[in-house]
Amino acid sequence: MSGWIAIIGNGVAGQWRLMLDRIAHRGPDIGGWTKCKTATIGQNYLPADVGGDPGRIPVPLVDTSPAHHIIGFDGQITNWAPLAEQLGVGEGPYRQERILLRLHERHGTEMFQYLDDAIFTFIIADDNGVLAARDLLGIKTLFYGRKDDAVYLGSELKSVLAITDEVYEFPPGHYMDQSGALHPFAALPAQPPQPLCTDTGQAVADIRRIIDNSLAAQVDFTRPTGSLLSGGIDSSVVAMLAARACRKKLGDDKRLKTFALGVGESEDIRNARLVADHIGADHHEMIIDLDTMLGVLDDVIYHLESFDPSLVRSAVSNYLISRHAREHGIEVLLSGEGGDEVFCGYLFLKERPPEEMFAGQLLVLRALHSNAALRLDRMNQCNGLRVVTPLISGELLRAAMAMAPELKIRPNGSEKIEKWVFRQAYADDLPEQITWRLKQEFSQGSGSAAPLTVHFEKMFDDDRLAAAQAQCPLIRSKEELYYYNIFTRHFGTGHAVQTVGQWTTL
């Protein structure tokens, strides 16, 4: 995780500084800016982003062989090792940036076919042109705006708003050229691949292999590393695998730090304790109340850049536990994010017939860029943490989408079990109570959802809500009205409001 800004064309002197200052939290430790004939680029890094000792290497990274290129980058390339070997990119800091520069040098806009196991935003500029891009699912965030004859890009909405109110979300799966025109480079499949995998043994073997490789490619424990742990299947699998890897790397006496949050003795707290004891973790809990949540709402919405209630509620919990982990010295934080999207864990999918599951999964995947992925990026980055998500993998997504619907949602008497094949893959590694615990949103399991909703229902009367809805039809509840007021105080009521994605339910 890092942050970058760019000005394509002729901006006013010093504008880059205004933009970069707005996202200084994305990398206060390492930063800088440079320019060429076509663009000015600024970059921030956390030490955990660099991948080695940067020494005196300036950023943004500049490559002068065979030509002068500048790169701004945010993301993680899971298949970096084979790409580095193919491209002759040696060890050292900024390896992923150097891989992207080599891919661009050799393949131009065809480079994206080599990045289907990566999440990213980047810009590469030289004296002849510019290429800016965002990954297919939009896991990494990016915005752009226009003013006079220049295009402004930034990792967060606030960085572009420092210059212009005409701001837009950069669409996932697209690249931008020197003229500011957008072009698609990838799309989600319209139909499930054929033939579908129906063999449980093969599916389980594929899942375990891919997730093992994903974790190994992204985590080396050279920086202080911990794991979020809600006691759900996703975070429990990630924490269990990381605890094993930590002992293998650092010694049998080493214990992975895990972090759980709850409103009182929540279900998440109880189940996280069970998992932490099972995997031998150094476990930390944060018990919060309504006042704690209300006290951070302004900061959460400022960093989140959204007013969607379901997203804000879960973001509050994520913000608090990430901050708690940072206070314990953690720099790299593992997350189980992505399991629901990959293995059809959303409860509404259980209500659909099997033949409609793929369409429902596409709906979830297309919402990621302005929903769960936004929380994942912002609530960790604003606390100075690099977040790693082994379950967000292009290879894992392709494998799961090719699995038969009954492997993902399995009938069990009168009930249906979501993410069945994923649970089955780790049934022997975790307590049965955890493996088969049904899905809950983070805000529900941690207990943060209900107190916030009830609190704001009492704050406004119905006439106040109706008046607000007449001015802005996007407001769907009294809770959302409160969050909307905070958002517009920070970002205004113009184009910024249109960048906010809203989940289908409150």
Query: pLDDT at residue 504 above 90?
Result: no
User: Do 98 and 217 sit in the same domain of this protein?
Assistant: no
Q: Model's pTM, two decimal places? A: 0.95
User: Do 474 and 446 sit in the same domain of this protein?
Assistant: no
User: Do 175 and 241 sit in the same domain of this protein?
Assistant: no
For residue 464, the tally of other CB atoms under 10 A from its CB is 12
SS (H, E, C) 352-414: CCHHHHHHHHHHHHHHHHHCHHHHHHHHHHCCCCEEECCCCCHHHHHHHHCECHHHHEEEECC
Total of domains in the chain: 3
Q: How far is CA 217 from the centre of its chain?
A: 17
Model pLDDT, residue 439 = 63
What is d(CA 228, CA 226) in angstroms, rounded to the nearest whole number?
Answer: 7
Q: State the alpha helices, DSSP H only, in 132-199.
A: 157-161
pLDDT in tens, 458-488: 999 999 999 999 999 999 999 999 999 999 9
The enclosing domain of 384 has a CATH number of 3.40.50.620
- Is 189 within a domain? no
- Is 205 within a domain? no
- Is 200 within a domain? no
User: Do 381 and 437 sit in the same domain of this protein?
Assistant: yes
Spatial CA neighbour of 218 closest among 363, 62, 81, 345: 81
What is d(CA 154, CA 38) in angstroms, rounded to the nearest whole number?
Answer: 16
- SS3 state of residue 271: helix
The phi-psi region of residue 503 (left if phi > 0; otherwise alpha if psi is between -120 and 50; otherwise beta) is beta
Model pLDDT, residue 124 = 98
Q: What is the mean pLDDT of residues 180-187?
A: 97
What is d(CA 352, CA 311) in angstroms, rounded to the nearest whole number?
Answer: 24
pLDDT in tens, 126-147: 999 999 999 999 999 999 999 9
**DSSP assignment string, 75-122:** EEETTHHHHHHHHT--SSTTHHHHHHHHHHHHHGGGGGGG-TTEEEEE
Residue 289 phi/psi, 5-degree rounding, is -135, -175
Model pLDDT, residue 414 = 83
User: Do 438 and 467 sit in the same domain of this protein?
Assistant: no
The answer to whether 321 touches 379, Cβ cutoff 8 Å, is no
User: Do 283 and 419 sit in the same domain of this protein?
Assistant: yes
- 245 lies in which domain range? 210-451
Spatial CA neighbour of 156 closest among 16, 48, 47, 305: 305
Query: pLDDT at residue 72 above 90?
Result: yes
User: Do 433 and 465 sit in the same domain of this protein?
Assistant: no
User: Do 248 and 317 sit in the same domain of this protein?
Assistant: yes
pLDDT in tens, 203-259: 999 999 999 999 999 999 999 999 999 999 999 999 999 999 999 999 999 999 999
Tell me the pairing of strands 2-8 and 39-45.
antiparallel
- Is 19 within a domain? yes
Give the mean pLDDT of the chain: 94
Query: pLDDT at residue 11 above 90?
Result: no
- SS3 state of residue 176: strand
Burial class (CB in 10 A: 0-12, 13-18, 19+), 467: exposed
Model pLDDT, residue 63 = 87
pLDDT in tens, 313-348: 999 999 999 999 999 999 999 999 999 999 999 999
Q: What is the mean pLDDT of residues 424-452?
A: 79
Q: What is the percent of the chain with per-residue pLDDT over 70, rounded to a whole number?
A: 97
pLDDT in tens, 273-318: 999 999 999 999 999 999 999 999 999 999 999 999 999 999 999 9
User: Do 397 and 461 sit in the same domain of this protein?
Assistant: no
For residue 146, the tally of other CB atoms under 10 A from its CB is 17
Give 403's DSSP letter. B
Model pLDDT, residue 448 = 63
Model pLDDT, residue 505 = 75
pLDDT band of residue 395 (cuts 50, 70, 90) is: very high
**411: which residues sit within 8 A by CB, 6+ positions away?**
none
User: Do 489 and 429 sit in the same domain of this protein?
Assistant: no
What is d(CA 501, CA 169) in angstroms, rounded to the nearest whole number?
Answer: 10
pLDDT band of residue 443 (cuts 50, 70, 90) is: very low
The enclosing domain of 68 has a CATH number of 3.60.20.10
Model pLDDT, residue 506 = 67
- Is 312 within a domain? yes
pLDDT in tens, 38-66: 999 999 999 999 988 888 899 999 987 76
pLDDT in tens, 343-388: 999 999 998 999 999 999 999 999 999 998 899 999 999 999 999 9
User: Do 432 and 458 sit in the same domain of this protein?
Assistant: no
Model pLDDT, residue 265 = 87
The answer to whether 141 touches 372, Cβ cutoff 8 Å, is no
Model pLDDT, residue 223 = 96
- SS3 state of residue 505: coil
User: Do 127 and 72 sit in the same domain of this protein?
Assistant: yes
Spatial CA neighbour of 409 closest among 504, 344, 324: 344
What is d(CA 457, CA 201) in angstroms, rounded to the nearest whole number?
Answer: 49
pLDDT in tens, 455-464: 999 999 999 9
How far CA 451 is from CA of 276, 297, 415, 446, 482, in Å, comes to 27, 13, 29, 11, 14
Query: pLDDT at residue 175 above 70?
Result: yes
The phi-psi region of residue 5 (left if phi > 0; otherwise alpha if psi is between -120 and 50; otherwise beta) is beta
